[in-house]
C-alpha cells in the first residue's frame, strides 16, 4: 500500500502557482519523497525528490515540513500543459523496497 495520502483533485488558474499537498505521516528517516506526474496515458514523468531539505529544479519546488510528515509540490507558474495526475511517493533508497509504490495521485486541472 502507498504510504502517502493526497486529495483526489484540485484546480488552479493558468499562470498562477499550483500547490499540491501530500501527507506521509509514517515516513521513515531514510525514505525519500518523490514526485512524478502522468499526462493522459503517457509514462510517468519524474519531477523532483527530496529527503529533508527543500529542493528546486527547473520544473518545480518541493517543500518538506520539518517533521517530514508532509510535503508540498509547487509549480510556480502553471500552464495548461501541467494538467496531469501527480503522484507523491515515499521510497526507501536501497534494497528490495526501492520500488515505487504509487497511490491514486492527485488530478491537477489547470484552467485558462
Residues that bind another protein (CB under 8 A): 2, 34, 36, 41-46, 49, 87, 93-96, 98-105
Q: How far apart are CA 105 and CA 7, in angstroms?
A: 8
Instruction: Provide the minimum distance between the beta carbon of 76 and another protein in the complex, in angstroms, as a whole number.
Output: 22
34/82 with CB nearer another protein: 34
Closest Cα to residue 88, out of 110, 100, 105? 105
57/79 with CB nearer another protein: 57
Task: List b or e across 75-85, with b for residues whose CB sees 16 or more CB atoms inside 10 angstroms.
Answer: beebeeebbbb
Instruction: Provide the minimum distance between the beta carbon of 83 and another protein in the complex, in angstroms, as a whole number.
Output: 17
Amino acid at each position: 500500500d502507498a504510504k502517502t495520502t493526497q486529495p483526489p483533485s484540485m484546480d488552479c488558474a493558468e499562470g498562477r502557482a499550483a500547490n499540491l499537498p501530500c501527507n506521509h505521516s509514517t515516513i521513515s528517516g531514510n525514505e525519500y519523497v518523490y514526485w512524478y506526474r502522468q499526462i493522459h496515458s503517457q509514462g510517468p514523468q519524474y519531477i523532483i525528490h527530496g529527503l529533508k531539505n527543500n529542493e528546486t529544479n527547473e520544473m518545480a519546488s518541493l517543500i518538506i515540513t520539518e517533521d517530514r510528515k508532509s510535503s508540498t509540490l509547487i509549480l510556480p507558474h502553471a500552464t495548461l500543459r501541467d494538467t496531469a495526475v501527480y503522484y507523491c511517493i515515499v521510497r526507501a533508497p536501497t534494497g528490495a523496497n526501492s520500488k515505487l509504490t504509487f497511490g491514486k495521485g492527485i488530478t491537477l486541472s489547470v484552467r485558462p
